[in-house]
A and B are shown apart, each in its own frame.
Chain A
């Protein structure tokens, strides 16, 4: 316990003595984290949008000829339910389809009331749980009697999947790159303190202090830098993202018909990620900078 307080005290003293360098590295790491959070925000929002869009497209719609009876449709529904990769299948009458259509037009739905006849066909909707099976299912549906058309938005879904995958991978690469840079920044700052105290450290070693005892204060110093950066980055992200959602949230909703990820949810999750990143960047940085020094 005494050792712990000693370590803590030393860390704060070092941090203070090395103030300008500590502040510079806090600044640098905060910037890294901000760039990181920018990517995270993009990533999360694109993902959320993709998920919700995917929800619209993970179905096959089998449009029926008007002469096809509900009984025939029921046979199709039952058959589809037996197929692999199908989560659900149901019969949708042309009236239900019209109601949905109206709902999607929202306030302008009344315009559709002017139609004398409902031009929409009856249909069987097949919900797909496994998109890999979509092609086979669509082909299978084509073989039914009494159908007009089979609609499946394959290319749209494919594009969507490709885009999200691309964003996912580039975000991960960028993240790794930024983390490495942050670790180097911290390790250089700590190295400076180590040099400043090399005399003290060499005496400590000669007198028989253990490596972890010597490392302790530097480790805490690194973690301190990391955590402070994380908190600052988090505050800035909170502020900026809040503003962004306020300003363009509505437009985004209108364009993509998906809401942006809410600020509270985002920040709560970021808090843990940032703190974990800060702590690991700080501790990795200081351990790396001490390694050569303690080997002798």
Chain B
């Protein structure tokens, strides 16, 4: 389903990914773990063609993503659902509209929207919240809406970027159950996470990335002694980035 073949991506000052080769099969559920700045985000962005690889080939659903023209990128993304740590719902749209939006913008017929949006909401257990606005919902409910939006177009692949990062453990676990359910229906899931408890409990394939290289790829455990990043509320992605840079700098300084 997703295949990296000797992929390298460099940034101006540091390495994103260094000669990474990996294969994720259809129906897999994969955890992507590792310290901040190790290359997890780069990995995800390369799958979505938000970034171009410097070297190597990336294949998604049988298509060579690296050679894809800009015009084909939207088609690629229609096959990939994505869920973020900070939900990214549109505050001025209702729950229903937020999910329908994903179908509208790729020109799905109204009939199909009316059928599939309630289905997705029901599957996520929030059918009764359809007319509410995001800020009237709890964090867990908001993430369910985000997942409903990600799956409403029935993508073959679902990428979840720290989906439980803003949630308390109980809610996080509920979300994991939903993702598991989606996976059992045949969707390949790639989840970036720092949540040790969840990874250990799920017993799925774990890919660990450090300094742009895959250092471990095995079934089961998170592998690090404790969660590498805290999962306190970091709604602001800028804040998260600042935190990451700060830590990276701190670590580098510490090593000298």
Interface residues in chain B, defined as those with a beta carbon under 8 Å from any beta carbon in chain A: 48, 50, 70-71, 74-79, 82, 88, 90, 101-102, 104-107, 149, 153
Contact = CB atoms under 8 A, between A and B. Distances in A.
A296 B78 contact: no
B104 A6 contact: yes
Given A2-B107, A199-B90, A208 B82 contact: no
A203 B88 contact: yes
A199 B149 CA distance: 15
Nearest to A203: B88
A200 interface: yes
Contact of A202 (B78, B79, B88): B88
A111 B16 CA distance: 97
B152 to A, nearest CB: 9
B77 A207 contact: yes
A209 B88 contact: no
A198 to B, nearest CB: 11
A204 B107 CA distance: 12
A203 B70 CA distance: 17
Contacts of A6: 104
A129 B107 CA distance: 63
Given A6-B104, A204-B105, 18 more contacts: A199-B88, A199-B90, A203-B88, A203-B101, A206-B77, A206-B82, A207-B101, A207-B102, A207-B105, A207-B149, A208-B74, A208-B77, A208-B79, A208-B105, A208-B106, A209-B106, A210-B71, A211-B74
A6 to B, nearest CB: 7
Nearest to A200: B90
Contacts of A199: 88, 90
Contact of A296 (B50, B74, B82, B107): B50
Interface string A190-215: 00000000011011111111110100
A210 B79 CA distance: 14
A184 B48 CA distance: 32
A95 to B, nearest CB: 80
A146 B215 CA distance: 109
A269 interface: no
Nearest to A295: B70
8 contacts: A199-B88, A199-B90, A202-B88, A203-B102, A208-B74, A208-B106, A213-B105, A296-B50
B90 A208 contact: no
A207 B102 CA distance: 6
Interface of A: 2-3, 6, 199-200, 202-211, 213, 296
A174 B181 CA distance: 65
With most chain B CB atoms within 10 A of its CB, the pick from A204, A207, A209 is A207
Nearest to B105: A209
Contacts of A296: 50
A187 B4 CA distance: 39
Nearest to B75: A208
A105 to B, nearest CB: 74
A199 B84 CA distance: 12
Contacts of B70: 211
Contacts of B105: 204, 207-209, 213
A12 B66 CA distance: 38
Contacts of B77: 205-208
A202 B82 CA distance: 12
B45 to A, nearest CB: 9
Most-contacted residue by chain B among A2, A204, A205, A208 (CB, 10 A): A208
B153 A207 contact: yes
Contact of B74 (A2, A3, A203, A209): A209
B90 A203 contact: yes
Contact of A206 (B48, B90, B107): B48
Top 8 closest A-B pairs, CB basis? A208-B78, A208-B77, A209-B105, A208-B74, A207-B102, A210-B74, A206-B82, A204-B105
A97 to B, nearest CB: 75
A179 B83 CA distance: 43
Contacts of B48: 206
Contacts of B149: 207
B153 to A, nearest CB: 7
A218 to B, nearest CB: 14
A200 B76 CA distance: 19
A21 to B, nearest CB: 18
Contacts of B82: 206
Nearest to A3: B107
Contacts of B79: 208
Contact of A207 (B50, B71, B106): B106
Contacts of A207: 77-78, 101-102, 105-106, 149, 153
Contacts of B50: 296
Contacts of B76: 208
Contacts of B101: 203, 207
A207 B75 CA distance: 9
A4 B24 CA distance: 39
A205 B80 CA distance: 11
A140 B190 CA distance: 92
Contacts of B102: 203, 207
